Amino acid sequence: MDADGMIDRRRLRRKLGFWRIVALLVAAGAVLALTYASGWRPGRLAGPGPDQIARVEVTGLITEDRDRLELLEKLKTDPRVRAVIIRVNSPGGTTVGGETLFEAIRDLAAAKPVAAEVGTLAASAGYMVAMATDRVVAHQSSIVGSIGVIFQYVDASVLLGRIGVEVNAVKSSPLKAEPSPFAPAAPGAREMIGRLVNDSYDWFVRLVMERRGLPEEEARRLADGSVFTGSQGLNNKLVDALGGEREIRRWLESERGVPAGLEIEEREPEKDGWGLFGSARSALFGLFGLDPTATDLVDALTGSGGHLDGMVSLWQPPRH
């Protein structure tokens, strides 16, 4: 073989070796991603590990969150988890989002001790989530309460008239798709929405009566939409104690028989079942100033991930 042929052959071997390494790396990455998505984490092969207290964060707007509900279901059957702390820092959200989370926490509490630590804010549906636990602990200056329901709609008909836009509709009945943002509310629309809001409000009040052990008159007095500091909440029996995780540990150990000194481990939902890829997606969206909680690029660009449909139980501080 001449010198040129030997050189070409060596180059070919180097290229093949490079692409073999690339193929091995891609295959290894795919295997790691699949095992991570299936629930495997480093250290799990070594055994179940020591007992622990799980901490679950409920922050921001509360909506129907299948991933968080699945996490709570897993914690219920995890033998290592001796108790769960729900850390709430939320102004509320949709009534259905609060309801599903409330029911999931009550289901979890039937299996093991569950307590809530209120951070800055647990209002409206956020407070609904907190009172689903068996012990509500807030800080002195936390904000709790805002018990109630709201349905908001926009009447942009005057604005549309000024710019010369007319929106027409053919409806099967007068109350279909009412209230509409394109015209004043049809007769009976406000009464219809009022009945809907009042029904959900009565349900919310019944939850407060049941979970906080309050007579109906007292529960309705507190359920006028008012917010309270943690200290005021304690005086009004909306909160069980002031403090933080130390106070929760004391309660778990002295009253619920949880062993002392257990490590508190943060447990997070596995978004979309993609594990590592979901975390990378969130980090990438955040890097470019987009919504890191969005499930895809369209939601991230439009901000539709934070859109709330239907009735909400949400506290908003007054704007000046």
Residues with a known catalytic role: 124, 176
With beta carbons less than 8 A apart as the criterion, state whether 139 and 230 touch: yes
On whether the CB atoms of residues 110 and 73 are closer than 8 A, the answer is no
H helical segments located in the chain = 3-37, 66-77, 95-109, 125-131, 157-162, 189-212, 216-222, 230-235, 245-255, 276-287, 297-302
What does the angle CA 301 – CA 307 – CA 309 come to, to the nearest 5 degrees? 150
State how far the Cα of 30 lies from the Cα of 188, in Å rounded to an integer: 58
Measured CA to CA, the distance from residue 86 to residue 261 in angstroms comes to 18
Alpha carbon distance 222, 228 (integer Å): 10
Q: How far apart are CA 184 and CA 157, in angstroms?
A: 7
Burial 95-133 (b: 16+ CB within 10 A, else e): bbbbbbbbebbeebbeebbbbbbbbebbbbbbbbbbbbb
- Residue 241 token pair: 């104690």
Q: Are strands 81-94 and 312-314 parallel, antiparallel or unpaired?
A: antiparallel
